[in-house]
Amino acid sequence: MNQILVSEKIYVTQEMRKKRKVYKIIFILCLILVIILAGYYVVAEYDKNQKEQISREILTQMNGDNTTVEERVIVVALDNDNEENEEIPIIDLPSTTSNTINSEITANGQSYTTEAILDYPKLGINYPVLSEETDELLKISLCKYWGPNPNKVGNYVIVGHNYKNGKMFGKLSSAEIGDEINLKDLNGETVTYSVYNKYVVEPTDVSCTSQLTNGQREITLITCTNYGQQRLVVKAREK
């Protein structure tokens, strides 16, 4: 009987050693990058949750205290049958009322001015509306962007972040025509609005903030979409 013995030898060349070394370095760098990105994500989520907790604290205070301070009221331009395409400028006048903003001091010692509470039951969106809009305040809660006092004639515009975890306006993309949205002002009055339009615009398109509402009360909700490249707009009118 003949037996054939096969012996295989692997010859490691200098070039192969160099390639192995490069592959090891690349693997280690990729591993470090993954760890850094994971750490960044965890820290970012923790920060978002901490900031969102401040809005919850503000909301609790608002539900238990309606003390208000004086502020300005915006006079809104309405549709005019004779001048349908003419934009009439908005005028600020001194207010003689005391129902526009509320000042809340949270446990961190910071003071935040609020105007209303937005409640979108179907999507589980329930946040105070801060009276100013800045990058820092948008991390805390929803913010007023433009318009009259809450629940007044005109278009009350609210902006908020689109967080992937669903917080703030993270679920706004699921809005549907006919959905009900409640807006409670500092007088304790709650007005229910019904969604009548939903669309996406470019960041430079601010037509959705127009105050030409034909004498009706409206609210407009705005958030980022398509990785921040565009804006999602949801418009609702008083029922």
pLDDT digits (tens, 9 = 90+) for 163-209: 988 999 999 999 999 999 999 999 999 999 999 999 999 999 999 99
Q: Helix %, strand %, coil % for the chain, to 5?
A: 25, 30, 40
Which CATH topology does 29-238 take? Sortase; Chain: A; (2.40.260)
pTM of the complete model? 0.71
Instruction: Please give the pLDDT value at position 33.
Output: 83
Q: How many CA atoms lie within 13 A of 104 on its CB side?
A: 28
pLDDT of residue 77: 32
Q: What is the pLDDT of residue 72?
A: 39
Sketch the domain layout of the chain as residue ranges. 29-238
Mean pLDDT of 111-126: 96
- Per DSSP, the chain holds a count of helices (H) and strands (E) of 2, 11
pLDDT tens profile 60-89:
888 876 444 444 333 333 333 433 333 333
- What's the mean per-residue pLDDT of the chain? 81
> Is residue 36's pLDDT more than 50?
yes
Question: Which residues, in sequence order, are CB contacts of 144 under 8 Å at separation 6+?
Answer: 115, 116, 129, 130, 131, 132, 133, 156, 157, 158
pLDDT of residue 105: 80
Q: Greater confidence, 202 or 13?
A: 202
User: How many Cα atoms occupy the beta-carbon half-sphere of 231 within 13 Å?
Assistant: 19
Mean pLDDT for 100-109 is 76
Contact between 95 and 70 (Cβ < 8 Å):
yes
What is the arithmetic mean of pLDDT over 122-146? 95
Return the sign of the alpha-carbon dihedral for residues 24, 27, 31, 32.
positive
Q: What is the pLDDT of residue 22?
A: 82
